Amino acid sequence: MGVDAVPRERLVAETFVELADTLVEDFDVIDFLHMLAERCVRLLDVAAAGLMLADQEGRLRVTASSTERVKLLELFELQNDEGPCLDCFAEGASVAEGELGEPHARSRWPRFAAEAHAAGFRSVVALPLRWRDETIGALNMFSACPQPLQPAEHRLGQALADVATIGLLQERNLRRRELLAQQLQTALNSRVIIEQATGVLAERKKVDVETAFQLLRSTARARQERLSDCARRLVLGEASPLAPWQVPGAAIEESQAILPDWAADSREAR
């Protein structure tokens, strides 16, 4: 599992506490879902995880992923209109498939199964972000093992998805029923500016996309601001060095290393 028994139990408890943070006002949906994807990888017997949320028209959108490879695979799933997340969302129930290179998986999802197998994954499980009769998205988990999740891991994964869903729905109910759709749409729109900032940062810093995203994310946390707001300021060239706030020294150093010269680069590019 990669996590020892005692630390794993503590991490499970900490994860549920963090998921409960959705009950406070003004939480960051994108960062919250990335945390969920990363915790699934650490807690469950999976190599990678990703999440899709439905937009205002009920169409799934890639929202968070633990790796760039999974993000591309989920985009491929949507582009080809086949795969576990789509089936899971449509049915409102979990979907599992092992041995993605075998005929059964290829007959179920001809293009997706071949692409996932080529990416190094041998099995997949999709769990619904569902509460009662409402499904708002799906959680995709990929493994290098030939078999899907064991029953205990499957139950824990669904519990994490359920708590996340309850949190998102609770936030909606605090602001009236129709506002969840607006918040989810805003999160999807924010993804565009985050992708832009990540791409430019990767180019300026000569790093890969995953590293650039982590740098952007740590900068936002060090500045105690939303990920999308930080990305927007960086894209517009409005970033400035951090003040020595009460945040970890490493985070301050990393963020100061990113912001001043990248802001200058952005202004010069304009």
pLDDT digits (tens, 9 = 90+) for 194-239: 999 999 888 888 889 999 899 899 888 888 888 888 898 888 876 5
Three-state DSSP class for residue 197: helix
What are the C-alpha distances in Å from 162 to residues 21, 22, 94, 127? 14, 13, 12, 9
Closest of 202, 192, 255 to residue 224, by C-alpha: 255
More confident residue, 250 or 139: 139
Give residue 180's pLDDT. 62
- Is the confidence at residue 127, as pLDDT, over 90? yes
Instruction: Spell out the domains of the chain, with CATH numbers in brackets.
Output: 5-174 (3.30.450.40), 190-262 (no CATH)
- Is the confidence at residue 182, as pLDDT, over 60? yes
User: What's the average model confidence in pLDDT over 107-125?
Assistant: 93
Helices (H), the chain: 5-19, 29-43, 68-80, 84-91, 103-108, 110-118, 151-174, 179-205, 209-222, 227-235, 249-269
Give residue 88's pLDDT. 95
